[in-house]
A and B are shown apart, each in its own frame.
Chain A
């Protein structure tokens, strides 16, 4: 069985001096084992 997740998330801002601190970033890579509750990706406010 397989699960596909499709979602909207913040992408980099254009008007903040190139700061991409609010950009959503995956914190896994293909082939990684992951367990439910562990972070797939994060974004942070500057």
Chain B
């Protein structure tokens, strides 16, 4: 109605800019027209993405597993200055929004990305920028921490993509069916990464024992299984190496918490690329998780080794560590990049960084 009225007014009162000829009326209509067209295009793209997400979820529910399939769009992404785009996005989203507009912008964000705004710790008009809103804290009690001492809790809100057990030093994590990456490449060369299970270690130590001797030992164990000769090490649980991959959607709460009582000994920062990390990207980009910028925290918990890799993406490129606020990620960089990871050993400064289960650890920031 506004545009129609404006158009009619323009017709009734030809602009004096063109000597009253009325030629300017078309131009004055073009600007709001272009804005409307852009908004419509963005709306259409968003609707298309939501439709595709829904279809993907339906297929996943039916048990269809997607296979790795590189395509032209993925190759094209390599040519884009994703780091600059990410930093520019960060700059735009850090701009202060007028107080009256804040609730509208954040509610629109919440509707688009299915965020639960009721959980936000502050009222919506208190978040000065979209960036501040994105890393909002939650109301106390929103996330009860599972108190079972024999459980490991999720460090983030998100969608579980994959999990499983790893075997040996060359252990591979499946990115998507048909493509895997090595856990060593993800975490970096780590001397504390267990390369074998306890079971394998025992087998390696007894490598020279013949099969006959092994069977004799088994017999002795069976025949002498009394409290007097019982060896506690035999019934002690052995340990394996596991992994779990959790994806955070744009509407999710974006802070990272400690999954257990954890003593963090080392931090590594890999300054890599900033590809998107959505479902499509995991299917089409090789080595997505080991090419992207990430922060790896490594340490010990009650059952042994534990490492957490927080991987950045184009829109959420920087990772803020609350245990090391001076760490800067998503920095501008040279075109050629083959830098080794930057490492900091917390252990040298004492006993490492002790965290309790559920303690706040890091946050993913926009840009």
Q: Which residues of A contact B (CB under 8 A)?
A: 1-16, 22-24, 26, 28-45
Of the A-B pairs whose beta carbons lie under 8 Å apart in the complex, a sample of 29, sorted by A's number, is A1-B277, A1-B310, A1-B313, A2-B311, A3-B155, A3-B248, A3-B256, A4-B311, A5-B243, A7-B301, A9-B240, A10-B237, A11-B165, A24-B242, A26-B244, A30-B163, A31-B160, A34-B157, A35-B154, A36-B154, A36-B156, A36-B255, A36-B256, A36-B358, A37-B153, A40-B154, A41-B242, A42-B152, A45-B150
Contacts of A35 in B (CB 8 A): 143, 154, 157, 253
Q: Is the CB of A37 within 8 A of B144?
A: yes
A11-B153 contact given A4-B245, A5-B259, CB 8 Å threshold:
no
CA distance in complex: A42, B154 (Å)? 12
A36-B311 contact given A9-B152, A11-B199, CB 8 Å threshold:
no
Which one, A3, A14, A31, A36, contacts B309 given CB within 8 A? A3
CA distance in complex: A17, B166 (Å)? 25
Q: Is the CB of B221 within 8 A of A6?
A: no
Interface of A is mostly: loop
> Chain A nearest CB: distance from B332 CB in Å?
20
CA distance in complex: A34, B159 (Å)? 6
CA distance in complex: A22, B239 (Å)? 10
Which one, A16, A32, A33, A36, contacts B153 given CB within 8 A? A36
**B195-231 CB contact bits vs A (8 Å, 1 = yes)?**
0010100000000000000000000010000000000
A38-B306 contact given A1-B364, A4-B245, CB 8 Å threshold:
no
> Chain B nearest CB: distance from A46 CB in Å?
10
Question: Which 5 interchain pairs have the tightest Cβ spacing?
Answer: A8-B304, A10-B237, A11-B240, A22-B237, A37-B145
